[in-house]
Amino acid sequence: MELHEANRIVRSVKSALYADGIKLPPSAESDGLLMLLGKLDCDKYLAPKIKHARTLAQDSAAFIRAFCTIAFFRALEALRIGLPDPVTSASLMMLHKTVCGDLDDEAGKPRAAEYSADGCEHTDPKYIQGSLRSVIAKMNGIERSPAIGKEDFAGYITHYMRELVIMRPFERGSDFTVRLFVTAFCKARGFSLCYYRTPATEIRAAETAAFRYDDVTPMYKLFMKCLSYEHTTVEPQKSVPQTRRELNKPRGEKRPAPQSSEMSEIKAAAQNGKKDNDDDKPVDVLKRAIKLQQKITKLNEQLTELMTASGSKPPARRAEKPGRQKPARPPRQAKPKTKTPDKKTEDDRCGDNSKPQ
């Protein structure tokens, strides 16, 4: 795994824990980065911590700190592996068991007791299994990037995240596991969900607004801020609007690009042809030209014999007589314009101004 990818996973998991008000020791972040880069064995690192945490009371603050630290490293390992395709309800159960199974015997099982928070009740335990299957089945219908844009994807994730928050499928570590599940699902669909781009208080406030007031606007804004395209995918470009004439124009078939094997054959043939041309000597070229000239002469003789035998002669071109020339045409002279006399007579001119007596 590359360094920037490992750093992004560590910061996202850390922010997902901070949303529940849990802070990690300073060494956890650096050790988690080493584990993702393959320089630290996770099981050997966590074995003494798990052994020590099992000796503590589950209500003590020391147990909670140890539980969160172990869950942090298990979450890093789960995000590194990713989710199977297609995603099922069993995928979420296995994720919860991976994250919380070291210190929780009920990890990986749906919540069996009723739970309420802030005066609002979560989904009844007997409906959790069926609701979980329905929600995740609908999530599988979301397209992958770049077939779907960031805005549409954020809208889908906001809707299904609200359903999972209201459901609260697990007794312990449910909110943290749901955030991890959504993060892994976004990565499987070609997006990166980086919770560290927003404060932890905004994450918790968005989930509370969706649960208590049925307001998903803060959560949608949260995902729009934290979502980004994976570096392996390309951001879809908006298509340029076309005119009706361009749409009705028949599209020509594009010639498929030659494969690597075809390209190698073409290059080899070109190199062989170049070598053959380089090997030709001037004497060989002259001999080929002489043979070609002899063939042309022989074909001309055969054509003449055939025309003589059939009695037809090729049409001769008319030769002009050297002394015969067309007489030069005299230049055309323009006729002089004659001035037309005035039709009015002198009497008429005088009569124009005179009145009859």
Confidence of residue 268 (pLDDT cuts 50, 70, 90): low
Band (334; pLDDT cuts 50, 70, 90): low
Residue 86: is the preceding peptide bond cis (ω within 30°)?
A: yes
Band of pLDDT at residue 234, cut at 50, 70 and 90: very low
**Residue 165 — very low, low, confident or very high, per pLDDT cuts 50/70/90?**
very high
User: Which residues in the chain belong to E strands, given as ranges?
Assistant: 116-117, 120-121, 191-193, 227-229
Q: pTM higher than 0.85, yes or no?
A: no
Of 326, 334, 17, 5, nearest to 173 (Cα)? 17
pLDDT at 193 over 70: yes
- Six-digit token string for 266: 């073409």
pLDDT band at residue 200 under the 50/70/90 scheme: very high
Note the pLDDT of residue 304. Answer: 84
Pairwise CA distance, residues 46 & 71, whole Å = 10
Average pLDDT, the chain: 80
Residue 176 has pLDDT above 50, yes or no: yes
Question: Average of pLDDT values for 123-140?
Answer: 92
More confident residue, 262 or 180: 180
When pLDDT is averaged across residues 264-292 and rounded to a whole number, the result is: 64
Does 137 have pLDDT greater than 70?
Answer: yes
Average pLDDT for residues 99-128, to the nearest whole number?
A: 87
Write out the two tokens for 201. 């208080």
Closest CA to 25 of 57, 73, 95: 73
Sorted by sequence, the CB contacts under 8 Å of residue 186 that are 6+ apart come out as 153, 157, 192, 193, 227
State the average pLDDT over residues 152-179. 94
Is the pLDDT assigned to residue 347 strictly greater than 60?
A: no
- Average pLDDT of the segment spanning 314-327: 53
